[in-house]
Amino acid sequence: MTGRARARARGRPPGQETAIPPVGAASVQQTLSSQPPGRRQPQQPRVPPSVSEEPGGRGRQRGPQSVPKTIGLQISAGFQELSLADRGGRRRDFHDLGVNTRQAIEHVQESKTGSSGIMIKLTTNYFRLTSRPQWALFQYHVGYSPEMEARRLRSALLFQHEELIGKTRAFDGSILFLPKKLGNKVTEVFSRTRNGEDVKITITLTNELPPTSPTCLQFYNIIFRRLLKMLNLQQIGRNYYNPSDPISIPNHRLMVWPGFTSSILQYEESIMLCTDVSHKVLRSETVLDFMYSLYYQVEEQRFRDACAKELIGLIVLTKYNNRTYRVDDIDWDANPQCTFRKADGSEISYVDYYKRQYNQEITDLNQPVLISQCRRKRGSMMPGPVVLIPELCFLTGLTEKMRNDFNMMKDLAIHTRLPPEQRQREIGRLIDYIQKDDNVQKELRDWGLSFDSNLLSFTGRVVQGEKILQSGNAFDYNPQFADWSRETRGAPLICAKPLDNWLLIYTRRNYDIANTLLQNLFKVTPSMGIRMNKATMIEVDDRTEAYLRVLQQSITPDTNIAVCILSSSRKDKYDAIKKYLCTDCPIPSQCVIARTLSKPQTAMAIATKIALQMNCKMGGELWSVEIPLKQVMVVGIDCYHDTLSGKQSIAGFVASLNQTMTRWFSRCAVQGRGQELVDGLKACLQTALRDWFKWNKYLPSRIIVYRDGVGDGQLNTLVNYEVPQFLDCLKSVGKDYNPRLTVIVVKKRVNTRFFAQCSGALKNPPPGTVVDVEVTRPEWYDFFIVSQAVRNGCVAPTHYNVIYDTSKLKPDHVQRLTYKLCHMYYNWSGVIRVPAPCQYAHKLAFLVGQSIHREPNLLLSDRLYYL
């Protein structure tokens, strides 16, 4: 794998995650924009209003607050700020509550647990939430006669009866929550306003909520977030951070805030708090600072492009309030002296506005301004462009460039990649804070709630390791490392494609490197069983056009593959070559950066990897594992969202073509903004079935779809929209064709962590660890697998959620198959985090999204040309 490929195959760290609109969001947006925009012109750029003008909007990044505040739940003792409205309305349900898929899957009603493997003692980052026996939350409706309008007045009148309702209460102006039951179902009391008016208040019990009711769960989360605030943690996005003890990394102008993610949900056996350590990377650099330093690094004429490339899509944090914005555009024609129209109709310049409102001096009056498109209504802000001043915005998160900076990531990893022991300690610290803070304890006590002080412990299973089968040999590998590159070195491949006629293109400066590569390939290929002729060696100028011209002139119908040695990691050249060879002239291609080949001590290892990669790209097969299931087609789907131009999304679709799952059909669906992904996927599935038929002369009797790239809160759309479309598509194949379908949602980004207890110490659980108890959700048929091994930090388990299943396969078999598939990714001789088809789909979507921007030629679809 080249350095580039590795960098690309890496996932985005959670901190950089941008909000991906749910699949069904298009219609919502349309209704929004069709609303009368009021007196404000829709395109009128605005500065964000000050906090005082938008109650309750503070600190929320993504959650739209469409519901008026009064509907929210007001909670006593300073709990008013967070209300139930935060979770209701159009706000995204990040935990996919209320999507009950297990009930429709008959064979897992009794049990969804597997059986194979040896037991292992695990602890996890969950704490039980306990309530008093027979605990319930009591919900009341409160009515006033005569009607009182002001919420504050309503509260004040009600709270005159403290002796009745008590100090622990939650009230939003009409709904009252109490931890106790009042004597009567309907209670009438009288209050007197300050100007002597008598008001009758009727308190009616409407609901007795058991601890597991969805309303209660929301209530717990609100209370918990409030507790975090009481502990002086600062909210950024969905998580809470401790600003008082930041880790400063001055070499890279970074600051890391330690913090916590938290959510309280109903899990298999009990309601638990899942909390994990989170790190927020902030940068002590303003956007203007960044522009200056960029100005120094690039040529004048490229400066604006470079700014756009580096900045657009980044999240910035404003100096004067706790808000984050995504940079969508840079307006070079505007500057801070431009004026805008305030809500009251008066014109004011940005300089004056920020001076007056926040006492913020803008020193550079020639800077451009940033434009952020607010897509949803937040607080009192209507959707539309927002103007930001670079000097007043801090950068957050990491840019692509920083993420590719090995030294920076290394320096960062020291602080963010915590080994199991340390991670457990940090997580324990949160519970410590909670146990030790008197105010927090009092609040919990008043509600009759408490948290376990120990991490949840239970038993998981480690399934048996797989044997790697390669041309009649079976290799065992050390399960600890989940890697068999050493074991299989020099063994013949299952299917080796010959290199009879191939091109090796290089620039003059890289002549020696090209020659060495050729010699090394001659050394490593025979043992793999690859027949190789000397390449057609072509020297080119180091220009994109030169490469393209040579490709045009030299490729013949017999050419097996074109290998290009690139002198730098400049993306434009790579993109142009890939685009040409994937669309106009469909042949496999291999790009290698010269520097990768330049180190003598790794040259042989690199040549081996390149040979394997080239073989896969030409349709070869490397290894397999035993797959007992017959007539099954496995499908992997992943999405790539173009964050830069924000225009299109690409779904990669990969389906197995043979029994051993060594050959794959690959296609992708390119869709514009607002288009439904599923239409493209239907076409993909149809062609995949056609190809399967060509290969096997029959259709698969089972189809198992691994669906990656599903955001938090999108599960519902998937269940109600995508799955029926798959079924439709299968129906359209033929009257008698009725295959069994399984759809499994794959999620890499989960907060769950497992620690293995071995001889008193906490370690990462070994690859093959399966968890399907305690921390799974009762309403789902779901499980976790730890398939990969990591060298430092904590291993992240992958979550699998079977949302549709007519296969009648035992859970154990589904788990085993899933784990087996994690062994089948040919770009890595080891076990990976997700089933191979998902990783293939990811690679494909990434290549198309980053470089090709349209659907590759279907002639390539039977090979892994995108590896």
Partner 1 sequence: MDKNFQEEPFTRTIKFTPPLYKQRYQFIKDLVGKYKPKKVADLGCADCTLLWMLKFCSCIEVLAGLDICASVMKEKMHRLSPLPGDYLQPSERSLTVTLHHGSVAHKDPCMLGFDLVTCIELIEHLEQSELKKFPEVVFGFMAPSMVVISTPNSEFNPLLPGVTCRHPDHKFEWNRAQFQSWALETARRYDYSVEFTGVGHPPTGMENVGFCTQIGVFVRKYPQTSESAQSEKPTETVYKTVFKAVYPSLKNEKYLQNAVVSEVILTAQIIKRSLSDHLMSEHEDYNDTTERKSKFQPSMNCFSEDLGKLVVEKSMEPFVNGNVVYIPLKTIFSFPKVNRLCGTFEKLCKFIAGKVTLSSDRSAVVLNTEHE
Residues at the contact surface with partner 1, assessed by CB under 8 A: 51-52, 55, 58, 76-78, 80-81, 152-153, 193-195, 197, 229, 232, 234, 236, 243, 246, 248, 250-251, 253, 255, 257, 282-284, 292, 295-296, 300, 303, 317-322, 344, 357-360, 363-364, 366, 394, 407
Q: Facing residues of 469 across strands? A: 474, 624
- Residue 403 or 740 having the CB closest to partner 1: 403
State the nearest-atom distance from the C-beta of 64 to partner 1, in Å.
20
Contact (Cβ atoms closer than 8 angstroms) between residue 682 and residue 725: yes
State the nearest-atom distance from the C-beta of 418 to partner 1, in Å.
22
d(CA 328, CA 395): 14
- Residue 490's SS3 state is coil
- Residue 356 or 694 having the CB closest to partner 1: 356
Q: Tokens 């401790």 map to which residue?
A: 242
State the nearest-atom distance from the C-beta of 322 to partner 1, in Å.
5
CA dihedral 302, 306, 307, 311 (to 10 degrees): 170
- Residue 447 or 665 having the CB closest to partner 1: 447
Q: Tell me how far apart the terminal alpha carbons of the chain are, to the nearest angstrom.
A: 9
- Residue 191 or 776 having the CB closest to partner 1: 191
Count of alpha carbons within 13 angstroms of residue 600, beta-carbon side: 1
Nearest to 562 by CA among 591, 532, 533, 539: 591
State the nearest-atom distance from the C-beta of 146 to partner 1, in Å.
13
> Which of 244-267 are b and which e, b meaning 16 or more Cβ less than 10 Å from the residue's Cβ?
eebeebeebebbbbbbbbbbbbbb
- Residue 171 or 451 having the CB closest to partner 1: 171
| CA distances for 422 relative to 72, 241, 418, 455, 553, angstroms | 39, 18, 6, 14, 59
User: Active-site residues: which are they?
Assistant: 638, 676, 708, 842
Preceding omega of 797 cis (within 30 degrees of 0): no
Q: What DSSP state is assigned to residue 852?
A: I
- Residue 161 or 253 having the CB closest to partner 1: 253
H or E element that contains 800: strand 798-805
Q: Facing residues of 138 across strands? A: 178, 208
State the nearest-atom distance from the C-beta of 78 to partner 1, in Å.
3
State the nearest-atom distance from the C-beta of 394 to partner 1, in Å.
6
Q: What angle do CA 551, 556, 560 make, to 5 degrees?
A: 85
d(CA 354, CA 348): 10
- Residue 223 or 669 having the CB closest to partner 1: 223
Nearest to 457 by CA among 199, 140, 805, 124: 124
565 phi and psi angles, rounded to 5 deg: -95, 120
How deeply is 543 buried, as exposed, middle or buried, from its count of CB atoms within 10 A (0-12, 13-18, 19+)?
A: exposed
- Read off the tokens for 232: 């002086």
- Residue 31 or 366 having the CB closest to partner 1: 366
Length reported for the chain? 867
Nearest to 539 by CA among 507, 563, 499, 492: 507
- Residue 241 or 502 having the CB closest to partner 1: 241
| Backbone Cα Rg of the chain | 30
Nearest to 305 by CA among 316, 320, 295: 295
- Read off the tokens for 450: 């408490």
d(CA 865, CA 867): 6
Nearest to 858 by CA among 575, 586, 659: 586
- Residue 150 or 186 having the CB closest to partner 1: 150
- Read off the tokens for 83: 């209300």
State the nearest-atom distance from the C-beta of 331 to partner 1, in Å.
15
> Which of 275-313 are b and which e, b meaning 16 or more Cβ less than 10 Å from the residue's Cβ?
bbbbbbbbbebbbbbbbeebeeeeeeeebeebbebbbbb
Contact (Cβ atoms closer than 8 angstroms) between residue 713 and residue 93: yes
Contact (Cβ atoms closer than 8 angstroms) between residue 355 and residue 391: no
- Residue 128 or 252 having the CB closest to partner 1: 252
State the nearest-atom distance from the C-beta of 818 to partner 1, in Å.
40
State the nearest-atom distance from the C-beta of 280 to partner 1, in Å.
8
- Angle between helix axes 723-733 and 677-696 (nearest 10 degrees) is 40
State the nearest-atom distance from the C-beta of 358 to partner 1, in Å.
5
Nearest to 820 by CA among 844, 797, 796, 787: 787
Q: How many other CB atoms sit within 10 Å of the CB of residue 582? A: 23
State the nearest-atom distance from the C-beta of 255 to partner 1, in Å.
6
